[in-house]
Structure 1
Amino acid sequence: MATIECKNLVKKYDDGFPAINDVSIDIADGEFIILVGPSGCGKSTLLRMIVGLEDITSGDLLIDGKRVNEVAPRDRNLSMVFQNYALYPHLTVFENIAFPLRLNKNKAEAGNIDEKVRRAADMLDLNEHLDRKPGNLSGGQRQRVAMGRAIVREADAFLFDEPLSNLDAKLRGQMRTQIAQLQRTLGTTSVYVTHDQTEAMTLGDRVAVLKRGVLQQIASPRELYEQPINLFVAGFIGSPEMNFLPAHAENGQLRTPIGDLEVPEGHYKAAEGKKIVLLGVRPEHFEDAKLVDDGIRDHGTVFTADITHTEWLGNEQYGYIRYDADQEVKGTLDELAKDLDGDEFNPQVVVALDSTSRIRGGQQAEVWMDTRKLHVFDPETGDNLTRDAEAGAKLTEEAAKERADEIKRAQENAEQR
């Protein structure tokens, strides 16, 4: 295992374009870090810089405190799992897993190779497939073989480059669970690139959000979700996405296209004196007003809205509210949509409703919003004006402690087996 330190890393191509621009990340021994962001944000480039497949223009990369900028990939003792598996089709599963050990015969005797391969195969439920060729395996099985090859190397860190993107939804879920359990059991430092929200939020100790080669925020998934630093992070993290509403502070309320909102004093003060702000509120912070208990109702605002349509999903449903775009912030929101791999901003609010709600499309309905959960953003800078940095840091500290305890339990259970 190892620590990995990225200090002011820059990667510029021949045309001067900075694919990675002054990124600094300290990865602790045994930590699981996720690199996430829209297409072209630089996440895969950063991973390749760490493993040595991309040159570093400036800055320092340290592994266990040693600068490795000029060290060849094979000498960094890092193991990479690729999106396309990179298996040898003419070799059996056993030989594919054993391949890196065969390259280092001086480090591993034949008997030791057999032991390591079978131990890795046991971890990954591959014992029944050791004599098969990759062409006869499913996508999930091939990816497990690629992971087995990484495990036997006993590398200082695992690097994953969108390893599950070629799998269907069901297999992705199964493999995600296996990767999480494996990382906890081995406690190996891991860096994982993905564009998938679920992978980012469920796998990582911390998640680093990148935009156009610039690190926006690195924190625990919960801190990113509850205390995003800016519009981009708020819009990128979460599915469905956070809703954004233009608002004006007036007479103690925030006036929005869907109604006037009574908000906590701190939120009003954040918006007061500004020509216009953007309110961020997540779908789950709405509810059918008829289903909200009186004790909770006082912590929010009830407004009347025209519901264009609803989507019932069994355990929950979503309602959609259209509103007229505000020209003062339309450019900002259109740019944000493009940054998030969209075309242009869609002026609508998505509200999550209890599955028992009888609200239906084409009718007016009373909807409750939990205004305690609102975020107020400056549309010019994108900054979150209501972010509680101290509360966010506490969430990340708690997550680190919980994950350390989880790794300890996983390793104890593995030893008992």
Structure 2
Amino acid sequence: MASITLNHLVKKYGDGFPAVNDVSIDIADGEFLILVGPSGCGKSTLLRMIVGLEDITSGDLLINGQRVNEKEPRERNLSMVFQNYALYPHLTVYENIAFPLRLSKGKFSDEEIDRKVRAAASTLDLDEHLERKPANLSGGQRQRVAMGRAIVRDADAFLFDEPLSNLDAKLRGQMRTEIAQLQRRMGITSVYVTHDQTEAMTLGDRVAVLKKGILQQIASPRELYEQPANLFVAGFIGSPSMNFLPAHVQGNVFGTPLGDIPVPQHAAGKMPPDGSIVLLGLRPEHFEDAKFVDEAIAARGTTFDARFTHTEWLGNQQYGYIRYQPDEAVQAKLNELAQDLDADEMQPQLVVSLDATSRIRGGTEGRIWVDTRRMHVFNPETGENLTRDAEAGAELTREAAEERQAEIERARQELAAAG
């Protein structure tokens, strides 16, 4: 296993464009780090720089404290799992997994190769498929074969380049679980690239969010969700996305298209001057049909009346959609953010979570309660989260690291007990 250190890494192409721009990350031994962001943000380029498939323009890459900028990929002892699996169609599953060992030309005996291949196949539940060809396997099985080839190399780290993007939604969920469990059992350093924020939130110990080659924030999934550093991170992490409601600062209230909202205590003293425009960040679950909020909880937020365009009932939950009249200047900023997030435009609407039994429907008006204690306030020009509690966010990441270490220890003990 290995620690990987990225010190001010920069990658510029011939036209001078920085695909990766001054990225610094310390990846701990055994950590599962996710690189996430929209298309073209530099995440795959950064992964290829780590494995040695892309030259480094400037900065230092260290593996276990040793600078490896000029080392060839084969000298870095890293295993890469590609998006397209990169399997040899004419070879059996057994021979595909054994292939990197046979490339070593005499380093491993036939007995050692057989032991390693069968151990990897057992770990990945491929024992019954060793004599089959890739064409006769499902997408999930082919992905496991690609992972088996990485495992047998006894590499210091696994690098995954969008390994699940070719699978259907159900199989992606299954493979996420398998990759997470495998990584926990082996405790091997892993760097995983994805554009899917659900994968990022469910797999990683920490997640590094990239935008146009620049690192926006690196933290545990929970810190990113609850204490985003800026508008981009807040809008990228979470499904449905965070709502951004334009507001005018008016003393101790925010004037919004849906009515006045009192400035919550955690935002007091952090606001720009009266008359300034800010964006209120509210996640769908911060709302509820006021009929389902008891008095004790209601006092922690505020209510407003709104007309719903439509609702979506999903059985165990329900979402309502509220349109509002946007401020033109703010809408331009939101559309700019939408483009950063790979969307055409950002609709001037709120998506609110409702109790599954709520009778609010499209075309009707309802009274909605919002938990203002969990509200974020953003500067629309800089994107800065004015209400971010950095200390509380850091504590969330510390807790996640402790829980993760305990989980790895339990997995190792269970593996040792199983013999």
TM-score, normalization by structure 1: 0.99
Unaligned runs of 5+ residues in structure 1 are none
Aligned-partner SS, 2:380: coil
Q: How does 1:99-114 map to 2 (within 5 A)?
A: 99-114=99-114
Aligned-partner SS, 1:33: strand
Alignment deviations for residues 332-373 of structure 1 (CA, whole Å, 9 cap, x no partner): 111000000011121000001111111111000000000000
- Residue 155 of structure 1 aligns to which amino acid in structure 2? A
1:140 matched residue in structure 2: 140
Q: Distance in 2 between matches of 1:222 and 1:263?
A: 25
Runs of 4+ in 1 over 2 A off after TM superposition: 268-272
Q: How does 1:13-412 map to 2 (within 5 A)?
A: 13-273=13-273, 275-412=276-413
Aligned-partner SS, 1:228: coil
What's the offset of the Cα at 1:105? 3.7
- Residue 236 of structure 1 aligns to which amino acid in structure 2? F
Q: Is 1:305–1:366's contact at 8 Å kept on the other side of the alignment?
A: yes
Q: Distance in 2 between matches of 1:56 and 1:147?
A: 27
Number of residue-to-residue matches in the alignment: 417
1:413 matched residue in structure 2: 414
Alignment deviations for residues 281-326 of structure 1 (CA, whole Å, 9 cap, x no partner): 0000000000001111100011000011000001101000000110
What's the offset of the Cα at 1:330? 1.7
Q: Distance in 2 between matches of 1:412 and 1:351?
A: 44
- Residue 343 of structure 1 aligns to which amino acid in structure 2? D
Q: Distance in 1 between matches of 2:395 and 2:251?
A: 34
Alignment deviations for residues 226-273 of structure 1 (CA, whole Å, 9 cap, x no partner): 000000000000000000011112242111111211232332432351
Q: Distance in 2 between matches of 1:190 and 1:116?
A: 20
Q: Is 2:323–2:348's contact at 8 Å kept on the other side of the alignment?
A: yes
Alignment deviations for residues 87-106 of structure 1 (CA, whole Å, 9 cap, x no partner): 00000000000111111143
Aligned-partner SS, 1:185: helix
Aligned-partner SS, 1:218: strand
Q: Is 1:270–1:376's contact at 8 Å kept on the other side of the alignment?
A: no
Unaligned runs of 5+ residues in structure 2 are none
Q: Distance in 2 between matches of 1:393 and 1:272?
A: 25
Alignment deviations for residues 16-41 of structure 1 (CA, whole Å, 9 cap, x no partner): 01000000000000000000000000
Over the matched positions of the two proteins, sequence identity in percent amounts to: 74
Alignment deviations for residues 160-216 of structure 1 (CA, whole Å, 9 cap, x no partner): 000000000111011100000000000000000001121100100000000000000
Aligned-partner SS, 2:385: coil
Q: Is 1:310–1:360's contact at 8 Å kept on the other side of the alignment?
A: yes
Q: Is 2:38–2:342's contact at 8 Å kept on the other side of the alignment?
A: yes
Q: Is 2:266–2:373's contact at 8 Å kept on the other side of the alignment?
A: no
Q: Is 1:263–1:300's contact at 8 Å kept on the other side of the alignment?
A: no
Aligned-partner SS, 2:234: helix
Q: Distance in 2 between matches of 1:106 and 1:386?
A: 60
Q: Is 2:264–2:373's contact at 8 Å kept on the other side of the alignment?
A: yes
Alignment deviations for residues 46-89 of structure 1 (CA, whole Å, 9 cap, x no partner): 00000000000000000000000000001100000000000000
CA spacing shift, 1:329–1:11, aligned 2, 3 Å: same
Alignment deviations for residues 388-416 of structure 1 (CA, whole Å, 9 cap, x no partner): 00000000000001001101111111222
- Residue 115 of structure 1 aligns to which amino acid in structure 2? R
Q: Is 2:10–2:23's contact at 8 Å kept on the other side of the alignment?
A: yes
Q: Distance in 1 between matches of 2:366 and 2:226?
A: 28
CA RMSD of aligned residues (A): 0.9
